[in-house]
Amino acid sequence: MAILKMKHLRLMLMKDQKDELLRKLIRLGCVQFNEIKDSEEDPEYAGLLSGLTTSLSSCRNRQATLNSAIAVIDRYVPEKSPLLAAKIEVSADILLDDSGIESALNRAEQVIAADDRAKRISSEESRQRNLIEALTPWLPLDLRLEKPWTERAQWILGTIQGKAGIDSLNDALLEYTDEAEAFEINADKSRRYVAVVFSKDQLAAVQECLRATGFNTVSFSELKGTPKDCINLAKAELNSLDKEKEECFDVIEQNAEFRKEFKLASDKMDARATIAEAEEKLLSTENVLIMEGWVPEESEKKLDAVLSGFDCAWETEAPEKAEYPDVPVKLKNNFLTNGLNMVTNMYSLPQYGTVDPNPLMAPFFILFYGLMMADMGYGIIMILAAIVAKAKMKPRDNALSFTQLLFWGGIATFAMGALTGAFFSDIPYQIVHLLNPESTWKGLPYLFSPISNSETVLYGSLVLGLLHLNAGMIVSFVMKKRAGNLADAIWEEGSLWVLLVGGVLAVLKIGNVAGIPVVLIIGVIMLLFGAGRHAKGFGKVTAAFGCIYNTATGWFGDVLSYSRIMALMLAGGVVGQVFNNVALMPAKNSGINVLTVIAFILIFVLGHLMNFGLNLLGCYVHDLRLQCLEFFGKFYQDGGKPFTPLKFGGKFVRAKEN
Amino acid sequence: MEFLNTIGGGALALLGAALAAALACVGSAKGTGIAGEAGAGLVAEDPSKSGKVLILQVIPGTQGLYGFVIFFLAYSKVSNLITSINVAQGLQIVSACLPIAIGGLLSAIAQGKVAAASINILAKKPDDWSKGMIMCIIVEFYAILCLLASFLMLNSIVL
């Protein structure tokens, strides 16, 4: 329920125990390593120390090799995985065990090599196919391609446009020389394939003529034999390439059964790379290592138990105020508020030494979400989805936050749905009236409904907004008071409260003295004085005007922004209602029979699925906005750095929790 | 006025309903079209992303749906009374249909552009594509407001 207290850790250790210690710490998963800065300040100290050479890049390279082998196998032999499956859990011992890595790497390299070869073969294949395609029109030509001449004669191959006849080409040739003739070899819709045969000494004249007639010369000088020979050769080549490709596929397929081993080895390499990353931050003399980092106060005992087995000296101390911006932040929350980690992580963590917004935000976030969705049917779906996901995927970290948020959001959605009488919008009402048109039933009972009491709901949303904003201001007030800035708190939050109370009293016409709303005016004066109290001279005037403008527009804007609660509540209901109407229309028009029931189910399911999906996301985004913009704006100090301890973080399997 | 009377309120009411459906659907068609063009480029490179591309592409499709919702409400309101609605009532229906007609048309196109840009995010930083989705939903809100404005007006019209 709070930001975990962190302690600054310094440790000195015999160098030969380094590997064992790091392996113990990665299991513990609660120590973050830092770059050591002190050495920069103290040259004498720095002279003794040097960084370590680590295997980081080789570990990452090997991991990348394994991952690309897995990708290749997944591409050729897709794995059918169940929709919601938890990652396989393995013990830390297995993850830190080196066995199996080398053989997996060898196999991975084979797979990648086979894939590369298959790719090269594919490109060669398409080259051969293109060749066959280009040669096919020339099949009737019974001349060798590599030597387009005899002792006296020579020929040029090429194409002319289909519209131009072979005769017109011959006529054109006659104008240049009478020792040349064009023969049509083949023709298709757009082109004629032509061989022009001529006496060798007429080459220049023929070329000139061909240029003038738009003749496209085709050259196959790199080929040997007649077109038929060449095509046969290319076909034979294609056959052998195909066989070779099959061999490559076989290699990949044979290795597909090792997919699990590859995945495990990849995560083993990830653990080694993570350890190497930590090593990069260490400094050492010949025999001694120095490390610095952070450890949560609550994990100190566990760390003590581990370190007692080593020859080391270590100390922890609470960070000083000046250090706060550098202290990593970890939030600890319970079942109810942990879901909001998703929101906080996405926005920005709070600074160390400030407040954890999750417990403050949780009741509002969940309530607003429920109000926006407000449908018993959708609520049930959300609760079920959360329970199933929790059971099947055994989520951790962010995924866990998500399922928890889904669960609480579902409960709120169901509760608000019960208050507004919505179950898949108004389907009970519609079905009852379809079955019995004379029924006088008015639908599920409701306390308030966005459709019949939209104004009430709108004002209710704005009042909730006021409460929400004031909760934020109370937090800000307390934080300022704790930091010893009571004066700031009174002049800023305090004067706004007086102003707000004054505004309410003025509207209700209570407490007016001689028609003047005294409290309101006191509030305005306090606000103006507060704004100008640090400014000097003319600055006081501009500060005051700026303050009035900001307060008026800012507060109006903030409060009106909460009207989106009503807007989303109403929109979801209306769209759902129309789908219900459309779904029941066939039954209304042509009676209840198999077809109309099928049509109803289809339209109902698809329509509500879409409305549900859209609202699930839409309500989240708008709730997020209300929290991050309106609520956080009142007090939140963001910019905390996340706590990133040395721990297992593989992609495919996960370490069992100790 | 005389001229409008010759047309009749029923025709005007139908015009309103038609505008709500047609303009909003045109907007959605353009929006999903813009996103679809960008998406096809990405899918050509990486077919495994087609699911996510589809999700981004359908987001600008909701305005058409909202337009249809208003069309449906307006149409079911007037369908039995087409011959008896007077011009004033007809114009009321037209006015009520205008927010979603215009808002749906323009917001869907704007949203389509955001969706197309988000497909860029999906291509370059696949892990952050949900942020693009959120940007799209922000545009959606104004279509929702238009839907509500139309809905509230339609609800208050007494025929």
- Give this complex's ipTM: 0.70
A84-114: pLDDT as tens digits? 777 888 888 888 888 888 899 999 999 999 9
Cα angle at B100 between B94 and B103, to 5 degrees? 120
Question: Closest Cα to residue A366, out of A322, A328, A414?
Answer: A414
Q: What is the pLDDT of residue A38?
A: 61
Nearest C-alpha in B relative to A611: B62
Partner-chain contact A564 B134, CB within 8 Å: no
The chain A residue lying nearest B68, using CA atoms, is A578
| Mean pLDDT (whole number) for A343-352 | 84
DSSP bridge pairs for A284: A50, A289
Number of neighbours of residue B61 by Cβ within 10 angstroms: 21
The 10s digit of each residue's pLDDT in A412-436 is 999 999 999 999 989 999 999 998 8
Residue A264: Cβ-neighbour burial (10 angstroms; 0-12, 13-18, 19+): buried
Chain A hits for B62, CB-CB cut-off 8 Å, are: 614
- The CA distance from A389 to A379, in Å, is 15
Whether residues B69 and A575 touch (CB distance < 8 A) is answered with yes
Spell out the domains of chain B, with CATH numbers in brackets.
Answer: 2-156 (1.20.120.610)
Tell me: the pLDDT tens digits for B86-110? 999 999 999 999 999 999 999 999 9
Q: Measure the N-to-C terminal CA separation of chain B; round to a whole number of Å.
A: 20
Which candidate from B134, B144, B155 shows the least CB-CB separation from A571?
Answer: B144
What's the pLDDT at A167? 86
Kindly report the backbone phi and psi dihedral angles of residue B69, in degrees, each rounded to the nearest multiple of 5, phi listed first. -60, -50
Left (φ > 0), alpha (ψ -120 to 50) or beta: where does A303 sit?
alpha
Which pLDDT score, from 0 to 100, does residue A60 have?
A: 92
Q: Higher pLDDT residue, A318 or A86?
A: A318
In this structure, the strands spanning A312-317 and A6-14 are antiparallel
Test mutation, A346, A578, A615, A624, chain B, max B CBs within 10 A: A578
Paired tokens of A509? 């016409």
**Residue A658, pLDDT score:** 59
Per-residue pLDDT at B52: 82
A76 residue type, one letter: Y
Which run of H or of E encompasses A601? helix A594-625
Q: In the CATH hierarchy, which fold is given to the domain comprising A146-219?
A: Alpha-Beta Plaits (3.30.70)
Residue A1 has pLDDT above 90, yes or no: no
Residue A549 reports pLDDT greater than 80? no
If you write DSSP's letter for every residue of chain B in order, what string do you get?
A: -HHHHHH-HHHHHHHHHHHHHHHHHHHHHHHHHHHHHHHHHHHHH-GGGHHHHHHHHHGGGHHHHHHHHHHHHHHHHHTTTTTT--HHHHHHHHHHHHHHHHHHHHHHHHHHHHHHHHHHHHHH-GGGHHHHHHHHHHHHHHHHHHHHHHHHHHHH---
**Is B68's pLDDT higher than 90?**
no
Task: Tell me what pLDDT residue B148 has.
Answer: 86
**Contact between B141 and A454 using a beta-carbon 8 Å cutoff:** no
Residue located via tokens 């799209």:
B136
Tokens of A195: 């061989």
Q: Is the pLDDT of residue A583 over 90?
A: yes
Structure tokens at B147: 């839907």
Residue A495 has pLDDT above 90, yes or no: no
Where does the pLDDT of residue A375 fall: very low under 50, low under 70, confident under 90, or very high at 90 and above? very high
Pick from B137, B147, B150 the residue to mutate for testing the A interface (most A CBs within 10 Å).
B137
Q: Confidence class of residue B120 from pLDDT cuts 50, 70 and 90?
A: very high
Here the tokens at position A10 are: 């310094």
d(CA A5, CA A324): 11
- pTM beyond cutoff 0.90: no
**Looking at chain A, which residue has its C-alpha nearest residue B139?**
A618
Alpha-carbon distances of A161 from A169, A188, A207, A324, B22, rounded to whole Å? 11, 10, 17, 80, 49
Model confidence at A642: pLDDT above 60: yes
Question: Looking at residue A177, what is its pLDDT?
Answer: 85
Once rounded to an integer, what is the mean pLDDT over residues A472-495? 85
| CA nearest neighbour of A615 among A462, A446, A407, A413 | A413
Is pLDDT of A508 > 80? no
Q: How far apart are CA B56 and CA A141, in angstroms?
A: 55
> Comparing C-alpha atoms, which of B93, B116, B126, B127 is closest to residue B13?
B93
Residues of B in contact with A624 (CB under 8 A): 134
DSSP string, A82-139: -SS-PPEEE-HHHHH--TTHHHHHHHHHHHHHHHHHHHHHHHHHHHHHHHHHHHGGGT
Domain spans, chain A: 146-219, 338-640
A88-90 and A653-655: which strand pairing? parallel
Contact A654, A270 (CB under 8 A): no
Predicted confidence (pLDDT) per residue in A24-67, tens digit: 899 888 899 988 776 556 676 666 777 777 788 999 999 999 99
Q: Which of A314, A298, A297, A305 is nearest to A9 (CA)?
A: A314
Q: What 8-state DSSP symbol labels residue A351? A: P
